[in-house]
């Protein structure tokens, strides 16, 4: 019996999940986590996206797939003809849970396409284009570069600083068994804020970046305090309000809604078991089933392998 040959793809990229905001860093701060989306890509006679695993159910398998769309954005930006592509994707990142699944798809599709074209776009160009497609820079920056990213958007570009996380911190994430779209989570936000809440946001986001960059964990819980989005989104996420106030008594050094939710992320530098148990019990008391995991912070970002070259990273 002849041996069936395995498909050989031109490029394979591995993209980490991400959490955005970390409380007070609304649309400005992101951090990479060690759940991954793996994307394989090659030129083909007909476009098809093969979806592997349960986390991708319901996604399109043709040219309307986000990964293909992101890849085509790179070809367009580089002025290259648009090819047919065969793509295979497998992901540990659950969809619409606030863990950067769309950002991982965008970054993965763009980096893979850039490799097929022999890298006409720089790291910064990829980041700028990915942020434009995603609509905000925090998730795509974390997935692309790894670690923590602080970013600010102007009319023409996004400025950013990437830096490693404080040593020893881990993330306890509670991923509920229901979904919440970013659009729905943004619809509950007000169109304007008081001066008091604006000053609170500026001060706490500045404190958050300083605490993370310097490793001043003693102020992190206060630094992650937010008045811009979490109080309004708490109505959509049972148990969030209680966890924001009680988790510090169970080992958390900071806690926040992950992105637009519904996932909740708590940071700790201690034994994570008491914190995990507390989060699970609070959510259960509100009728919410959740998968509670302890994740490390990914400090590498997207990795790339080709048929010719060994693995490389995009860490800036």
The binding site for ATP comprises 94-104
Closest-CA residue to 263 (of 232, 229, 240): 240
- CA distances for 149 relative to 5, 74, 86, 140, 161, angstroms: 42, 23, 32, 9, 6
Report the greatest alpha carbon distance in the chain. 75
Q: What tokens appear for 124 in the block?
A: 């910064």
Annotated binding site: 94-104
Beta carbons of 227 and 201 less than 8 angstroms apart: yes
Angle between helices 123-134 and 138-145 (to 10 degrees): 150
Q: State the distance between the two ends of the chain, measured CA to CA, in whole angstroms.
A: 49
90 pairs with which residues across the strands?
A: 38, 52
CA-nearest of 88, 11, 18, 23 to 221 is 23
Of the candidates 64, 77, 9, the one whose C-alpha atom is nearest the C-alpha of residue 41 is 9
């Amino acid at each position: 019996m002849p041996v069936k040959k395995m498909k050989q793809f031109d490029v394979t990229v591995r993209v980490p999940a991400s959490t955005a905001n970390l409380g007070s860093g609304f649309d400005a701060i992101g951090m990479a986590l060690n759940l991954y989306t793996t994307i394989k890509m090659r030129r083909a006679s007909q476009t098809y996206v093969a979806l592997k695993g349960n986390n991708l159910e319901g996604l399109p398998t043709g040219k309307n797939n986000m990964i293909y769309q992101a890849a085509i954005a790179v070809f367009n930006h580089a002025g290259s003809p648009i090819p047919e592509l065969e793509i295979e994707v497998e992901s540990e990142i659950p969809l619409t849970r606030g863990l950067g699944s769309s950002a991982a798809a965008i970054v993965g599709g763009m980096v893979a396409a850039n490799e097929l074209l022999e890298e006409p776009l720089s790291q910064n160009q990829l980041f700028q284009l990915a942020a434009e497609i995603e609509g905000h820079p925090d998730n795509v920056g974390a997935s692309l570069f790894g670690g923590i990213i602080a970013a600010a958007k102007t009319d023409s570009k996004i400025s950013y600083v990437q830096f490693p996380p404080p040593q020893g911190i881990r993330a306890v994430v509670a991923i509920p068994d229901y979904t919440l779209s970013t659009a729905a989570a943004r619809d509950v936000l007000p169109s304007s804020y008081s001066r008091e809440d604006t000053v609170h946001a500026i001060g706490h986001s500045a404190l958050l970046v300083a605490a993370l960059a310097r490793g001043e964990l003693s102020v992190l819980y206060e630094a992650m305090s937010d008045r811009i989005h979490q109080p309004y989104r708490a109505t959509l996420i049972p148990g969030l309000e209680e966890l924001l106030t009680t988790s510090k008594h169970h080992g958390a050094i900071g806690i926040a809604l992950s992105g637009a939710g519904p996932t909740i992320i708590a940071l700790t530098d201690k034994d994570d078991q008491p914190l995990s148990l507390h989060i699970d019990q609070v959510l259960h008391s509100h009728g919410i089933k959740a998968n509670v995991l302890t994740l490390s912070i990914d400090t590498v970002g997207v990795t790339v392998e080709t048929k010719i070259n060994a693995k490389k990273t995009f860490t800036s």
